[in-house]
């Protein structure tokens, strides 16, 4: 019964406030319970959750998980309308929204609001990502508890629409906003270009995540943003006092950065499980995940700076590494690694990534060679 999702992204300097409104309608001839499973950023903080069901407006309360579930079940069993937002027990970045006992023909609107810090990219851009799909979560072999259930729906059959708008404000001018999806043109709201807005173009196909990259002028200049306290809160309380957010993004001299360009320990980890034999695009079955990963690894391998250290791990049900430990990158070690990478195939069985990661992090670091 989910009909549409409206997402409003408000970016203030380096912090984003995301307001998602999920609109439901029961088109059946009997009451329904709808469950919507979705991911949130791992460092996000949910700050508001409410529902409008018919003429009734409900604001959620934070309760102990078991108590909340019992109250939700009791409401459903008595024929009342209720909703429940809870974090998955299997993965802390997955949330489940349950909308219960929605009468025939009734509509419901769920509002979820969270805040998160935007990650800074290598080119100074700030990245926000709205996942279009919930990808399966890794669960180590032999671990207890049920797996997170993820169903797959072809993009052309997604039964709801998505509208996505962005509003950006910063003490610094906004240079540009880029996205992996089609956007309407950026519109500046003032003459100094410190405020801007844009929207996702119509016809989103749900075949990719909605990724937004925001670029500011003078990105390395310190900035401060002040937020006033809530008028309804008590003075001296957390919500009643004003808050200042200071953003520091240092820029290191080129002489320092160039001295680090030839140093580092580069450890590559490649998936060689059976699923890597699947085509990337079913229109071109010859291009599989393993061939793409292999070509990418070869490109990266040939781009390393001389004098650094490197090693290559691959994993499936078990894991392998080309060298017993990381070796210095030179013509000889590069050629040896290239020959082994060229014959790598998706023939290692399952997808057990935990053991190779444990092995990598158990190795001592090389002095003055930061591991990457």
Lowest average pLDDT, out of 42-56, 61-75, 277-291, 357-371, goes to 277-291
Computed over every residue of the chain, the mean pLDDT equals: 83
Determine the Cα–Cα distance for residues 19 and 167; give it in Å rounded to an integer: 12
What local confidence, expressed as pLDDT, does residue 345 receive?
Answer: 93
Q: Tell me if 112 sits within 8 A of 45, measured CB to CB.
A: no
The per-residue pLDDT for range 189-240, each reduced to its tens digit, is: 999 999 999 998 887 766 677 889 999 998 888 888 888 888 888 888 878 8
What local confidence, expressed as pLDDT, does residue 44 receive?
Answer: 85
**Is the per-residue pLDDT at 242 higher than 60?**
yes
What local confidence, expressed as pLDDT, does residue 146 receive?
Answer: 46
Domains of the chain: 2-216 (2.60.40.1730), 223-251 (no CATH), 256-362 (3.40.50.410)
The per-residue pLDDT for range 258-286, each reduced to its tens digit, is: 665 667 899 999 999 988 888 876 666 77
**Is the per-residue pLDDT at 84 higher than 90?**
no
What local confidence, expressed as pLDDT, does residue 315 receive?
Answer: 94
Instruction: Supply 67's token pair.
Output: 């108590």
**Is the per-residue pLDDT at 139 higher than 50?**
no
Would you place residue 135 in the very low, low, confident or very high pLDDT band (cuts 50, 70, 90)?
very low
What local confidence, expressed as pLDDT, does residue 362 receive?
Answer: 93
| Residue 13: burial class (beta carbons within 10 Å; 0-12, 13-18, 19+) | buried
| Residue 314: burial class (beta carbons within 10 Å; 0-12, 13-18, 19+) | buried
What local confidence, expressed as pLDDT, does residue 28 receive?
Answer: 83
**Is the per-residue pLDDT at 136 higher than 70?**
no
Between vectors from CA 235 to CA 231 and to CA 238, what angle results, nearest 5°?
Answer: 90
Instruction: Supply 166's token pair.
Output: 């962005």
Rg for the chain, CA atoms, rounded: 25
Would you place residue 9 in the very low, low, confident or very high pLDDT band (cuts 50, 70, 90)?
very high
What is the average pLDDT across 237-260? 78
Residues 322-350 as b/e (b if ≥16 CB within 10 A, e otherwise) read: beeebbebeeebbeebeeebeebebebee
Determine the Cα–Cα distance for residues 355 and 166; give it in Å rounded to an integer: 41
The per-residue pLDDT for range 145-184, each reduced to its tens digit, is: 444 454 444 445 556 778 899 999 999 999 999 988 888 8
The per-residue pLDDT for range 17-64, each reduced to its tens digit, is: 999 898 888 888 888 887 777 777 778 888 888 888 878 888 888 888
The per-residue pLDDT for range 108-128, each reduced to its tens digit, is: 888 889 999 998 887 889 999
pTM higher than the cut 0.75: no
What local confidence, expressed as pLDDT, does residue 98 receive?
Answer: 82
Look up residue 250 and give its DSSP letter. -
Percent of all residues in the chain with a pLDDT value above 90, rounded to a whole number: 31
What are the C-alpha distances in Å from 172 to residues 12, 191, 211, 215, 303? 11, 12, 22, 10, 35
């Amino acid at each position: 019964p989910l009909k549409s999702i409206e997402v409003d992204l408000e970016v203030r300097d380096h912090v984003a406030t995301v307001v998602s409104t999920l609109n439901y309608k029961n088109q059946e001839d009997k009451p329904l319970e709808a469950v919507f499973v979705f991911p949130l950023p791992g460092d996000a903080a949910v700050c508001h959750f409410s529902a409008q069901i018919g003429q009734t407006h409900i604001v959620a309360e934070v309760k102990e998980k078991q108590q909340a579930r019992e109250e939700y079940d009791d409401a459903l069993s008595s024929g009342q309308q209720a909703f429940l937002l809870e974090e998955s027990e299997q993965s802390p970045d997955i949330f489940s929204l349950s909308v219960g006992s929605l009468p025939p023909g009734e509509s419901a609107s769920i509002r979820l609001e969270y805040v998160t810090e935007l990650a800074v990219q290598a080119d100074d851009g700030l990245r926000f990502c709205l996942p279009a799909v919930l990808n399966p979560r890794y669960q180590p072999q032999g671990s207890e508890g049920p797996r997170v259930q993820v169903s797959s729906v072809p993009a052309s059959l997604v039964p709801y629409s998505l509208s996505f708008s962005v509003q950006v404000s910063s003490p610094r001018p906004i240079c540009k906003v880029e996205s992996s999806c089609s956007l309407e043109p950026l519109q500046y709201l003032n003459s100094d270009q410190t405020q801007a807005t844009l929207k996702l173009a119509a016809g989103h196909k749900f075949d990719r995540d909605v990724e937004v990259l925001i670029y500011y002028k003078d990105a390395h200049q310190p900035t401060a943003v002040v937020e006033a306290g809530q008028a309804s809160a008590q003075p001296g309380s957390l919500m009643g006092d004003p808050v200042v957010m200071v953003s520091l993004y240092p820029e290191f001299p080129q002489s320092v950065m160039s001295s680090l360009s030839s140093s580092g320990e580069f450890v590559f980890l490649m998936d060689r499980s059976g699923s890597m034999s699947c085509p990337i695009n079913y229109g071109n079955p010859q291009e599989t995940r393993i061939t793409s990963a292999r070509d990418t690894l070869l490109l990266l391998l040939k781009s390393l700076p001389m004098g650094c250290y490197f090693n290559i791990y691959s994993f499936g049900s078990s894991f392998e590494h080309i060298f017993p430990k990381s070796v210095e990158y030179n013509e000889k070690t590069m050629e040896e690694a290239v020959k082994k990478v060229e014959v790598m195939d998706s023939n290692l069985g399952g997808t057990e990534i935990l053991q190779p990661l444990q092995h990598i992090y158990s190795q001592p670091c090389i002095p003055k060679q930061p591991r990457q």
